[in-house]
Structure 1
Amino acid sequence: METNKTQIIAVANHKGGCGKTTTVVHLAAELVECGKRVLIVDLDPQANVSLHIGKQHPSEISITSAELLTHEENLLVDALEEETNFKGVSLIYGSLNLGKTEDQLKEYSPRPNEELKYKLEPLFGIYDFILIDCPPSLKILTSNALAAADYVIIPIESGSQYGLYGVTDLINHISKIHRINPKLKLLGTLLIKHDKRQNVCKLIQDETNNTVGQLFETTIPTSTKVNQAAILKQSLIDIDKKSKIRLSFSELANEILVKLES
Protein backbone atom coordinates (compact mmCIF):
# COMPACT_ATOMS: atom_id res chain seq x y z
CA MET A 1 0.00 0.00 0.00
CA GLU A 2 1.29 3.46 -0.87
CA THR A 3 2.53 5.69 1.95
CA ASN A 4 -0.10 8.18 3.13
CA LYS A 5 -2.67 6.62 0.81
CA THR A 6 -6.17 6.52 2.28
CA GLN A 7 -8.18 3.49 1.19
CA ILE A 8 -11.95 4.04 1.32
CA ILE A 9 -14.03 0.87 1.59
CA ALA A 10 -17.84 0.88 1.39
CA VAL A 11 -19.63 -2.10 2.92
CA ALA A 12 -22.85 -2.37 0.97
CA ASN A 13 -25.82 -4.65 0.45
CA HIS A 14 -29.40 -3.38 0.22
CA LYS A 15 -30.65 -6.46 2.05
CA GLY A 16 -31.02 -5.79 5.76
CA GLY A 17 -29.54 -8.08 8.41
CA CYS A 18 -26.71 -9.40 6.25
CA GLY A 19 -23.87 -8.27 8.49
CA LYS A 20 -22.83 -4.88 7.11
CA THR A 21 -22.51 -3.21 10.51
CA THR A 22 -20.87 -6.25 12.10
CA THR A 23 -18.33 -6.31 9.28
CA VAL A 24 -17.54 -2.59 9.53
CA VAL A 25 -17.19 -2.54 13.32
CA HIS A 26 -15.01 -5.61 13.77
CA LEU A 27 -12.95 -5.12 10.61
CA ALA A 28 -12.12 -1.62 11.90
CA ALA A 29 -10.94 -3.05 15.23
CA GLU A 30 -8.74 -5.61 13.47
CA LEU A 31 -7.20 -3.04 11.13
CA VAL A 32 -6.21 -1.00 14.19
CA GLU A 33 -4.64 -4.17 15.63
CA CYS A 34 -2.57 -4.26 12.44
CA GLY A 35 -1.32 -0.74 13.16
CA LYS A 36 -3.66 1.13 10.81
CA ARG A 37 -5.43 4.45 11.40
CA VAL A 38 -9.16 3.91 10.86
CA LEU A 39 -12.25 6.08 10.51
CA ILE A 40 -15.82 4.78 10.26
CA VAL A 41 -18.48 6.85 8.49
CA ASP A 42 -21.98 5.78 9.54
CA LEU A 43 -24.44 6.46 6.69
CA ASP A 44 -27.26 4.30 8.05
CA PRO A 45 -30.26 6.13 9.62
CA GLN A 46 -30.46 3.28 12.15
CA ALA A 47 -26.95 4.34 13.29
CA ASN A 48 -26.08 0.90 14.67
CA VAL A 49 -22.34 1.46 14.20
CA SER A 50 -22.63 4.70 16.17
CA LEU A 51 -24.63 2.99 18.91
CA HIS A 52 -21.92 0.33 19.18
CA ILE A 53 -18.69 2.31 19.13
CA GLY A 54 -19.82 5.85 19.98
CA LYS A 55 -19.39 7.15 23.52
CA GLN A 56 -22.59 9.19 23.13
CA HIS A 57 -26.03 8.33 21.80
CA PRO A 58 -26.40 9.51 18.17
CA SER A 59 -29.36 11.72 19.20
CA GLU A 60 -26.97 13.74 21.39
CA ILE A 61 -24.63 14.53 18.47
CA SER A 62 -25.29 17.86 16.74
CA ILE A 63 -23.11 17.30 13.64
CA THR A 64 -23.54 13.82 12.15
CA SER A 65 -23.06 12.46 8.64
CA ALA A 66 -26.49 13.93 7.80
CA GLU A 67 -25.35 17.50 8.52
CA LEU A 68 -21.98 16.81 6.90
CA LEU A 69 -23.70 15.83 3.66
CA THR A 70 -26.30 18.57 3.51
CA HIS A 71 -24.47 21.72 4.64
CA GLU A 72 -22.79 23.83 2.01
CA GLU A 73 -19.81 24.53 4.26
CA ASN A 74 -17.64 21.55 5.16
CA LEU A 75 -18.46 20.56 8.77
CA LEU A 76 -15.90 17.75 8.78
CA VAL A 77 -13.93 19.00 11.81
CA ASP A 78 -17.15 19.19 13.87
CA ALA A 79 -18.40 15.81 12.63
CA LEU A 80 -15.19 13.90 13.35
CA GLU A 81 -15.14 12.12 16.72
CA GLU A 82 -11.76 10.64 17.64
CA GLU A 83 -12.76 9.31 21.08
CA THR A 84 -14.84 6.15 20.74
CA ASN A 85 -15.32 2.85 22.57
CA PHE A 86 -12.77 1.30 20.21
CA LYS A 87 -9.24 2.52 20.76
CA GLY A 88 -7.78 3.89 17.53
CA VAL A 89 -11.10 3.99 15.64
CA SER A 90 -12.55 7.43 14.83
CA LEU A 91 -16.22 7.93 13.95
CA ILE A 92 -18.53 10.18 12.00
CA TYR A 93 -21.87 9.45 13.63
CA GLY A 94 -25.01 8.43 11.78
CA SER A 95 -28.46 9.63 12.85
CA LEU A 96 -32.18 9.43 12.14
CA ASN A 97 -31.75 12.72 10.26
CA LEU A 98 -30.23 10.68 7.41
CA GLY A 99 -33.80 9.67 6.58
CA LYS A 100 -34.39 13.23 5.28
CA THR A 101 -30.94 13.65 3.73
CA GLU A 102 -31.69 12.06 0.37
CA ASP A 103 -34.50 14.52 -0.41
CA GLN A 104 -32.35 17.44 0.77
CA LEU A 105 -29.47 16.37 -1.47
CA LYS A 106 -31.75 16.04 -4.48
CA GLU A 107 -33.10 19.52 -3.86
CA TYR A 108 -29.93 21.45 -3.00
CA SER A 109 -26.82 19.67 -4.25
CA PRO A 110 -25.54 20.15 -7.82
CA ARG A 111 -24.00 16.66 -7.52
CA PRO A 112 -26.17 14.79 -5.00
CA ASN A 113 -24.25 11.50 -5.34
CA GLU A 114 -20.83 13.07 -4.78
CA GLU A 115 -21.20 15.15 -1.61
CA LEU A 116 -19.46 12.60 0.63
CA LYS A 117 -16.51 12.28 -1.73
CA TYR A 118 -16.01 16.05 -1.65
CA LYS A 119 -16.50 16.34 2.12
CA LEU A 120 -13.99 13.58 2.98
CA GLU A 121 -11.14 14.93 0.83
CA PRO A 122 -9.38 16.79 3.69
CA LEU A 123 -8.86 13.44 5.45
CA PHE A 124 -6.89 11.85 2.63
CA GLY A 125 -3.50 10.87 3.98
CA ILE A 126 -4.59 11.22 7.63
CA TYR A 127 -6.30 7.82 7.90
CA ASP A 128 -5.12 4.57 6.35
CA PHE A 129 -8.69 3.31 6.02
CA ILE A 130 -12.12 4.92 5.91
CA LEU A 131 -14.88 2.31 6.25
CA ILE A 132 -18.41 3.35 5.27
CA ASP A 133 -21.44 1.54 6.67
CA CYS A 134 -24.20 1.83 4.05
CA PRO A 135 -27.96 1.74 4.65
CA PRO A 136 -30.03 -1.20 3.32
CA SER A 137 -31.00 0.56 0.09
CA LEU A 138 -29.59 1.56 -3.29
CA LYS A 139 -30.61 5.21 -3.02
CA ILE A 140 -28.54 8.38 -2.71
CA LEU A 141 -26.80 7.54 0.60
CA THR A 142 -25.39 4.28 -0.75
CA SER A 143 -24.53 6.03 -4.02
CA ASN A 144 -22.55 8.62 -2.04
CA ALA A 145 -20.61 5.85 -0.32
CA LEU A 146 -19.84 4.09 -3.60
CA ALA A 147 -18.93 7.34 -5.36
CA ALA A 148 -16.41 8.11 -2.59
CA ALA A 149 -14.98 4.60 -2.26
CA ASP A 150 -11.98 2.88 -3.78
CA TYR A 151 -13.44 -0.53 -2.98
CA VAL A 152 -16.71 -2.19 -2.00
CA ILE A 153 -17.22 -5.26 0.18
CA ILE A 154 -20.53 -7.11 -0.24
CA PRO A 155 -21.48 -9.15 2.84
CA ILE A 156 -23.85 -12.02 2.07
CA GLU A 157 -25.77 -13.99 4.68
CA SER A 158 -24.71 -17.53 3.93
CA GLY A 159 -27.07 -19.16 6.39
CA SER A 160 -30.20 -17.88 4.62
CA GLN A 161 -31.84 -19.10 1.42
CA TYR A 162 -32.50 -15.42 0.69
CA GLY A 163 -28.84 -14.46 1.15
CA LEU A 164 -28.30 -13.59 -2.49
CA TYR A 165 -31.62 -11.81 -2.92
CA GLY A 166 -31.11 -8.64 -4.93
CA VAL A 167 -27.32 -8.88 -5.21
CA THR A 168 -27.59 -8.62 -9.00
CA ASP A 169 -29.31 -5.25 -8.52
CA LEU A 170 -26.40 -4.12 -6.34
CA ILE A 171 -23.84 -5.21 -8.94
CA ASN A 172 -25.78 -3.30 -11.60
CA HIS A 173 -25.87 -0.24 -9.34
CA ILE A 174 -22.10 -0.43 -8.83
CA SER A 175 -21.71 -0.50 -12.64
CA LYS A 176 -23.76 2.71 -12.89
CA ILE A 177 -21.61 4.39 -10.21
CA HIS A 178 -18.55 3.65 -12.37
CA ARG A 179 -19.69 6.58 -14.54
CA ILE A 180 -18.84 8.99 -11.71
CA ASN A 181 -16.25 6.82 -9.93
CA PRO A 182 -14.35 4.71 -12.48
CA LYS A 183 -11.76 3.62 -9.86
CA LEU A 184 -14.35 1.72 -7.75
CA LYS A 185 -13.54 -2.00 -7.51
CA LEU A 186 -15.18 -4.97 -5.84
CA LEU A 187 -12.78 -5.97 -3.08
CA GLY A 188 -14.73 -9.13 -2.40
CA THR A 189 -17.96 -10.84 -1.41
CA LEU A 190 -17.95 -11.95 2.22
CA LEU A 191 -19.96 -14.90 3.50
CA ILE A 192 -21.48 -14.12 6.92
CA LYS A 193 -23.01 -16.69 9.29
CA HIS A 194 -21.26 -19.33 7.23
CA ASP A 195 -21.15 -22.97 8.31
CA LYS A 196 -19.58 -25.20 5.66
CA ARG A 197 -21.35 -28.24 7.16
CA GLN A 198 -24.79 -26.86 6.22
CA ASN A 199 -26.18 -27.49 2.74
CA VAL A 200 -27.74 -24.02 2.47
CA CYS A 201 -24.32 -22.47 3.14
CA LYS A 202 -22.68 -24.63 0.50
CA LEU A 203 -25.39 -23.67 -2.00
CA ILE A 204 -25.04 -19.93 -1.23
CA GLN A 205 -21.25 -20.20 -1.52
CA ASP A 206 -21.48 -21.87 -4.96
CA GLU A 207 -24.17 -19.47 -6.17
CA THR A 208 -22.18 -16.45 -4.98
CA ASN A 209 -19.14 -17.75 -6.80
CA ASN A 210 -21.15 -18.20 -9.99
CA THR A 211 -23.11 -14.93 -9.94
CA VAL A 212 -20.69 -12.46 -8.34
CA GLY A 213 -17.34 -14.17 -7.82
CA GLN A 214 -14.39 -12.67 -5.96
CA LEU A 215 -15.22 -14.46 -2.73
CA PHE A 216 -12.97 -13.77 0.21
CA GLU A 217 -11.22 -16.93 1.36
CA THR A 218 -12.14 -15.88 4.90
CA THR A 219 -15.72 -16.61 5.98
CA ILE A 220 -17.44 -15.34 9.14
CA PRO A 221 -19.22 -17.91 11.35
CA THR A 222 -22.36 -17.45 13.42
CA SER A 223 -21.68 -16.43 17.01
CA THR A 224 -23.63 -15.04 19.96
CA LYS A 225 -20.49 -13.03 20.74
CA VAL A 226 -21.48 -10.53 18.02
CA ASN A 227 -24.63 -9.55 19.97
CA GLN A 228 -22.70 -9.65 23.22
CA ALA A 229 -20.10 -7.24 21.80
CA ALA A 230 -22.85 -4.87 20.60
CA ILE A 231 -24.63 -4.87 23.98
CA LEU A 232 -21.37 -4.26 25.86
CA LYS A 233 -20.15 -1.76 23.21
CA GLN A 234 -16.90 -3.64 22.89
CA SER A 235 -14.89 -5.31 20.16
CA LEU A 236 -14.60 -9.07 19.76
CA ILE A 237 -10.97 -8.61 20.78
CA ASP A 238 -12.22 -7.37 24.17
CA ILE A 239 -14.92 -10.05 24.48
CA ASP A 240 -12.84 -13.13 23.63
CA LYS A 241 -9.59 -12.65 21.77
CA LYS A 242 -9.24 -16.34 20.91
CA SER A 243 -12.81 -17.01 19.81
CA LYS A 244 -13.43 -18.43 16.35
CA ILE A 245 -15.35 -15.37 15.16
CA ARG A 246 -12.71 -12.92 16.42
CA LEU A 247 -9.98 -14.89 14.64
CA SER A 248 -12.11 -14.86 11.47
CA PHE A 249 -12.21 -11.06 11.46
CA SER A 250 -8.47 -11.01 12.12
CA GLU A 251 -7.98 -13.26 9.07
CA LEU A 252 -10.26 -11.00 7.02
CA ALA A 253 -8.22 -7.91 7.90
CA ASN A 254 -5.01 -9.67 6.96
CA GLU A 255 -6.51 -10.97 3.71
CA ILE A 256 -7.57 -7.42 2.79
CA LEU A 257 -4.15 -5.99 3.60
CA VAL A 258 -2.46 -8.64 1.45
CA LYS A 259 -4.88 -7.90 -1.44
CA LEU A 260 -4.25 -4.18 -1.28
CA GLU A 261 -0.49 -4.49 -0.97
CA SER A 262 -0.10 -6.94 -3.86
Structure 2
Amino acid sequence: MQQVKSEAFVTGARVVDPRALPVPLRTPRRRNFINLGHIWVLHRKIIIRAAAAAITCVGIVTIYEVRDHIGLGASTLSEIAQGGVARAGFAIGEISISGQALTGEQAIFDALGVEPHTSTLSFDAEAARRRIAELPSVASVSVRKTYPGDVSVVITEKVPVARWRVDGVTFVVDAQGEQIGEDKGAFGELPLVVGDGAADDALPMIRALNQYPTLAKGIVALSRIADRRWDMIYDTGLRVQLPEQGVAQALKSLDTYQRDYALLDRDVTIVDLRVPDVVAVRPTKHDEETKKP
Protein backbone atom coordinates (compact mmCIF):
# COMPACT_ATOMS: atom_id res chain seq x y z
CA MET A 1 0.00 0.00 0.00
CA GLN A 2 1.32 3.46 -0.90
CA GLN A 3 2.04 5.72 2.02
CA VAL A 4 0.66 9.23 2.00
CA LYS A 5 2.15 12.05 3.95
CA SER A 6 0.02 13.59 6.58
CA GLU A 7 0.17 16.95 4.84
CA ALA A 8 -1.98 15.54 2.01
CA PHE A 9 -4.98 15.00 4.30
CA VAL A 10 -7.59 17.60 4.66
CA THR A 11 -7.31 19.57 7.79
CA GLY A 12 -9.15 17.80 10.57
CA ALA A 13 -9.16 14.41 8.80
CA ARG A 14 -7.98 11.34 10.59
CA VAL A 15 -6.99 7.83 9.68
CA VAL A 16 -9.79 5.29 10.17
CA ASP A 17 -9.72 1.54 9.90
CA PRO A 18 -12.22 0.57 7.09
CA ARG A 19 -13.28 -2.45 9.04
CA ALA A 20 -14.59 -0.12 11.71
CA LEU A 21 -16.96 1.73 9.28
CA PRO A 22 -20.70 0.92 9.57
CA VAL A 23 -22.24 -1.36 6.90
CA PRO A 24 -25.41 0.16 5.29
CA LEU A 25 -28.53 -1.95 5.56
CA ARG A 26 -29.90 -2.85 2.11
CA THR A 27 -33.64 -3.51 1.98
CA PRO A 28 -35.08 -6.08 -0.47
CA ARG A 29 -36.50 -3.26 -2.57
CA ARG A 30 -33.09 -1.60 -2.89
CA ARG A 31 -31.42 -4.92 -3.66
CA ASN A 32 -33.93 -5.52 -6.47
CA PHE A 33 -33.31 -2.02 -7.81
CA ILE A 34 -29.57 -2.62 -7.83
CA ASN A 35 -30.02 -5.95 -9.55
CA LEU A 36 -32.21 -4.34 -12.22
CA GLY A 37 -29.54 -1.72 -12.72
CA HIS A 38 -26.94 -4.42 -13.26
CA ILE A 39 -29.21 -6.18 -15.75
CA TRP A 40 -29.83 -2.91 -17.61
CA VAL A 41 -26.10 -2.19 -17.86
CA LEU A 42 -25.26 -5.69 -19.04
CA HIS A 43 -28.21 -6.34 -21.40
CA ARG A 44 -29.44 -2.92 -22.43
CA LYS A 45 -29.45 -3.56 -26.20
CA ILE A 46 -31.38 -6.80 -25.89
CA ILE A 47 -33.95 -5.18 -23.59
CA ILE A 48 -34.48 -2.27 -26.01
CA ARG A 49 -34.94 -4.58 -28.98
CA ALA A 50 -37.36 -6.82 -27.11
CA ALA A 51 -39.41 -3.82 -25.97
CA ALA A 52 -39.56 -2.41 -29.50
CA ALA A 53 -40.71 -5.77 -30.85
CA ALA A 54 -43.38 -6.05 -28.18
CA ILE A 55 -44.67 -2.53 -28.87
CA THR A 56 -44.81 -3.28 -32.61
CA CYS A 57 -46.77 -6.48 -32.03
CA VAL A 58 -49.22 -4.72 -29.75
CA GLY A 59 -49.68 -1.97 -32.35
CA ILE A 60 -50.35 -4.44 -35.15
CA VAL A 61 -52.86 -6.37 -33.08
CA THR A 62 -54.61 -3.17 -32.03
CA ILE A 63 -54.89 -1.88 -35.61
CA TYR A 64 -56.21 -5.24 -36.78
CA GLU A 65 -58.86 -5.25 -34.06
CA VAL A 66 -60.10 -1.73 -34.87
CA ARG A 67 -59.64 -1.86 -38.65
CA ASP A 68 -63.38 -1.77 -39.33
CA HIS A 69 -63.82 1.27 -37.12
CA ILE A 70 -60.88 3.00 -38.79
CA GLY A 71 -62.32 2.29 -42.23
CA LEU A 72 -65.74 3.53 -41.19
CA GLY A 73 -64.22 6.67 -39.71
CA ALA A 74 -62.17 7.33 -42.83
CA SER A 75 -65.23 6.81 -45.00
CA THR A 76 -67.26 9.15 -42.84
CA LEU A 77 -64.56 11.81 -42.95
CA SER A 78 -64.36 11.42 -46.71
CA GLU A 79 -68.10 11.86 -47.05
CA ILE A 80 -68.04 14.90 -44.80
CA ALA A 81 -65.21 16.37 -46.85
CA GLN A 82 -67.04 15.60 -50.07
CA GLY A 83 -70.15 17.30 -48.80
CA GLY A 84 -68.17 20.33 -47.70
CA VAL A 85 -66.47 20.66 -51.08
CA ALA A 86 -69.79 20.19 -52.85
CA ARG A 87 -71.44 22.87 -50.73
CA ALA A 88 -68.53 25.15 -51.53
CA GLY A 89 -69.64 25.19 -55.18
CA PHE A 90 -67.67 22.26 -56.64
CA ALA A 91 -70.51 19.74 -56.80
CA ILE A 92 -71.00 18.15 -60.23
CA GLY A 93 -74.12 19.80 -61.54
CA GLU A 94 -74.17 19.26 -65.31
CA ILE A 95 -73.10 16.19 -67.30
CA SER A 96 -73.12 16.49 -71.09
CA ILE A 97 -73.01 13.33 -73.24
CA SER A 98 -72.60 13.30 -77.01
CA GLY A 99 -71.89 10.80 -79.76
CA GLN A 100 -73.99 7.94 -78.42
CA ALA A 101 -76.62 6.16 -80.49
CA LEU A 102 -76.31 2.52 -79.46
CA THR A 103 -75.03 3.21 -75.96
CA GLY A 104 -77.74 3.78 -73.37
CA GLU A 105 -77.46 6.93 -71.28
CA GLN A 106 -78.16 5.01 -68.08
CA ALA A 107 -75.21 2.71 -68.79
CA ILE A 108 -73.00 5.76 -69.27
CA PHE A 109 -74.20 7.37 -66.02
CA ASP A 110 -73.60 4.13 -64.13
CA ALA A 111 -70.08 3.90 -65.54
CA LEU A 112 -69.35 7.51 -64.58
CA GLY A 113 -69.98 6.70 -60.92
CA VAL A 114 -71.21 10.18 -60.02
CA GLU A 115 -73.01 10.35 -56.67
CA PRO A 116 -75.22 13.23 -55.43
CA HIS A 117 -72.37 14.82 -53.43
CA THR A 118 -69.48 13.98 -55.77
CA SER A 119 -67.29 17.02 -56.38
CA THR A 120 -65.22 17.83 -59.42
CA LEU A 121 -62.12 17.86 -57.19
CA SER A 122 -62.49 14.21 -56.21
CA PHE A 123 -64.03 12.92 -59.47
CA ASP A 124 -61.55 10.61 -61.23
CA ALA A 125 -62.10 11.34 -64.93
CA GLU A 126 -59.57 8.75 -66.11
CA ALA A 127 -61.14 5.94 -64.08
CA ALA A 128 -64.57 6.92 -65.44
CA ARG A 129 -63.19 6.93 -68.99
CA ARG A 130 -61.85 3.39 -68.57
CA ARG A 131 -65.21 2.14 -67.29
CA ILE A 132 -67.14 3.71 -70.17
CA ALA A 133 -64.63 2.35 -72.70
CA GLU A 134 -65.53 -1.18 -71.55
CA LEU A 135 -69.14 -0.78 -72.76
CA PRO A 136 -69.73 -3.05 -75.81
CA SER A 137 -70.69 -0.30 -78.25
CA VAL A 138 -67.90 2.16 -77.38
CA ALA A 139 -64.84 2.40 -79.62
CA SER A 140 -63.27 5.36 -77.79
CA VAL A 141 -64.34 7.97 -75.26
CA SER A 142 -63.05 11.14 -73.63
CA VAL A 143 -64.16 12.39 -70.21
CA ARG A 144 -63.32 15.92 -69.13
CA LYS A 145 -64.26 17.90 -66.05
CA THR A 146 -64.59 21.65 -66.16
CA TYR A 147 -64.55 23.60 -62.93
CA PRO A 148 -66.50 24.40 -60.96
CA GLY A 149 -69.04 21.63 -61.67
CA ASP A 150 -69.31 20.35 -65.27
CA VAL A 151 -68.40 16.98 -66.79
CA SER A 152 -68.28 16.36 -70.54
CA VAL A 153 -68.41 12.89 -72.12
CA VAL A 154 -67.73 12.47 -75.85
CA ILE A 155 -68.24 8.95 -77.23
CA THR A 156 -67.16 7.42 -80.52
CA GLU A 157 -69.10 4.23 -81.10
CA LYS A 158 -68.14 1.17 -83.10
CA VAL A 159 -69.33 1.12 -86.71
CA PRO A 160 -72.24 -1.31 -87.21
CA VAL A 161 -72.11 -3.36 -90.43
CA ALA A 162 -75.05 -5.72 -90.08
CA ARG A 163 -78.00 -6.84 -88.01
CA TRP A 164 -77.88 -10.34 -86.58
CA ARG A 165 -81.08 -12.06 -85.49
CA VAL A 166 -80.69 -14.80 -82.89
CA ASP A 167 -83.33 -16.32 -80.58
CA GLY A 168 -85.87 -13.76 -81.73
CA VAL A 169 -83.68 -10.77 -80.81
CA THR A 170 -81.89 -8.60 -83.39
CA PHE A 171 -78.50 -7.20 -82.51
CA VAL A 172 -76.25 -4.77 -84.33
CA VAL A 173 -72.76 -6.19 -84.94
CA ASP A 174 -69.46 -4.64 -85.97
CA ALA A 175 -66.94 -5.77 -88.58
CA GLN A 176 -65.59 -8.45 -86.22
CA GLY A 177 -69.04 -9.83 -85.57
CA GLU A 178 -69.15 -8.50 -82.00
CA GLN A 179 -72.51 -7.42 -80.62
CA ILE A 180 -72.50 -3.68 -80.04
CA GLY A 181 -76.11 -3.18 -79.10
CA GLU A 182 -79.68 -4.27 -79.63
CA ASP A 183 -81.41 -3.03 -82.77
CA LYS A 184 -84.58 -1.21 -81.78
CA GLY A 185 -85.51 -0.13 -85.28
CA ALA A 186 -82.91 2.55 -85.96
CA PHE A 187 -80.71 0.39 -88.22
CA GLY A 188 -83.21 -1.07 -90.63
CA GLU A 189 -81.01 -0.14 -93.60
CA LEU A 190 -78.29 -2.57 -92.52
CA PRO A 191 -78.24 -6.08 -94.02
CA LEU A 192 -79.91 -8.74 -91.88
CA VAL A 193 -78.05 -12.00 -91.28
CA VAL A 194 -79.43 -15.05 -89.53
CA GLY A 195 -78.07 -18.40 -88.43
CA ASP A 196 -75.20 -19.72 -86.34
CA GLY A 197 -71.91 -18.04 -87.23
CA ALA A 198 -73.64 -15.45 -89.41
CA ALA A 199 -72.31 -12.49 -87.43
CA ASP A 200 -68.69 -13.64 -87.68
CA ASP A 201 -68.73 -14.00 -91.48
CA ALA A 202 -71.20 -11.26 -92.36
CA LEU A 203 -68.76 -8.59 -93.55
CA PRO A 204 -67.03 -10.60 -96.35
CA MET A 205 -70.40 -11.70 -97.71
CA ILE A 206 -71.82 -8.18 -97.57
CA ARG A 207 -68.78 -6.75 -99.35
CA ALA A 208 -69.01 -9.38 -102.08
CA LEU A 209 -72.72 -8.71 -102.58
CA ASN A 210 -72.21 -4.92 -102.68
CA GLN A 211 -70.34 -5.36 -105.96
CA TYR A 212 -73.61 -6.42 -107.59
CA PRO A 213 -76.33 -3.85 -106.74
CA THR A 214 -78.79 -5.64 -109.01
CA LEU A 215 -78.49 -8.82 -106.96
CA ALA A 216 -78.66 -6.96 -103.63
CA LYS A 217 -81.98 -5.35 -104.53
CA GLY A 218 -84.88 -7.03 -102.77
CA ILE A 219 -82.83 -9.17 -100.36
CA VAL A 220 -84.46 -9.40 -96.92
CA ALA A 221 -81.89 -11.65 -95.25
CA LEU A 222 -78.66 -13.56 -95.66
CA SER A 223 -78.97 -16.97 -94.04
CA ARG A 224 -75.91 -18.82 -92.80
CA ILE A 225 -76.32 -22.56 -93.41
CA ALA A 226 -74.50 -24.92 -91.02
CA ASP A 227 -71.88 -22.19 -90.55
CA ARG A 228 -70.44 -23.17 -93.95
CA ARG A 229 -72.26 -21.30 -96.71
CA TRP A 230 -74.90 -18.66 -97.45
CA ASP A 231 -78.42 -18.49 -98.84
CA MET A 232 -79.80 -15.21 -100.18
CA ILE A 233 -83.49 -14.76 -99.32
CA TYR A 234 -85.54 -12.27 -101.37
CA ASP A 235 -88.77 -10.49 -100.52
CA THR A 236 -90.54 -12.58 -103.21
CA GLY A 237 -89.74 -15.78 -101.32
CA LEU A 238 -86.95 -16.73 -103.72
CA ARG A 239 -83.92 -18.44 -102.14
CA VAL A 240 -80.54 -18.44 -103.90
CA GLN A 241 -78.24 -21.15 -102.61
CA LEU A 242 -74.57 -20.16 -102.82
CA PRO A 243 -71.63 -22.59 -102.71
CA GLU A 244 -69.31 -23.06 -99.77
CA GLN A 245 -66.32 -22.06 -101.94
CA GLY A 246 -66.23 -19.70 -104.92
CA VAL A 247 -68.92 -17.28 -103.78
CA ALA A 248 -67.52 -14.44 -105.90
CA GLN A 249 -67.70 -16.51 -109.09
CA ALA A 250 -71.22 -17.70 -108.26
CA LEU A 251 -72.40 -14.12 -107.77
CA LYS A 252 -70.80 -13.07 -111.03
CA SER A 253 -72.60 -15.88 -112.89
CA LEU A 254 -75.89 -15.01 -111.21
CA ASP A 255 -75.49 -11.37 -112.21
CA THR A 256 -74.96 -12.46 -115.82
CA TYR A 257 -78.08 -14.67 -115.76
CA GLN A 258 -80.09 -11.84 -114.27
CA ARG A 259 -78.90 -9.38 -116.90
CA ASP A 260 -79.46 -11.76 -119.80
CA TYR A 261 -82.48 -13.79 -118.67
CA ALA A 262 -83.98 -11.91 -115.66
CA LEU A 263 -83.61 -15.13 -113.71
CA LEU A 264 -84.46 -13.59 -110.34
CA ASP A 265 -87.74 -12.21 -111.72
CA ARG A 266 -89.03 -15.55 -112.96
CA ASP A 267 -91.53 -17.68 -111.10
CA VAL A 268 -89.08 -19.90 -109.27
CA THR A 269 -88.58 -20.63 -105.57
CA ILE A 270 -84.95 -21.81 -105.55
CA VAL A 271 -81.89 -21.01 -107.61
CA ASP A 272 -79.15 -23.49 -106.77
CA LEU A 273 -75.57 -22.36 -107.49
CA ARG A 274 -73.80 -24.83 -105.21
CA VAL A 275 -72.26 -26.77 -108.12
CA PRO A 276 -69.70 -24.76 -110.14
CA ASP A 277 -70.87 -23.77 -113.66
CA VAL A 278 -74.31 -25.30 -113.02
CA VAL A 279 -77.51 -23.35 -112.38
CA ALA A 280 -80.44 -25.38 -111.11
CA VAL A 281 -83.87 -23.89 -110.49
CA ARG A 282 -87.04 -25.08 -108.80
CA PRO A 283 -90.26 -23.67 -110.25
CA THR A 284 -93.13 -22.71 -108.00
CA LYS A 285 -95.72 -25.40 -107.32
CA HIS A 286 -98.53 -23.74 -109.23
CA ASP A 287 -96.35 -23.80 -112.39
CA GLU A 288 -95.81 -27.53 -111.96
CA GLU A 289 -99.56 -28.11 -111.39
CA THR A 290 -100.54 -26.23 -114.56
CA LYS A 291 -98.25 -28.47 -116.63
CA LYS A 292 -100.03 -31.65 -115.45
CA PRO A 293 -102.50 -33.15 -117.97
What TM-score results when the alignment is normalised by the length of structure 2?
0.16
User: Whose strand fraction is larger, Structure 1's or Structure 2's?
Assistant: 2
What TM-score results when the alignment is normalised by the length of structure 1?
0.17
Higher-RCO chain (CA-CA 8 Å, sequence separation at least 6) = 1
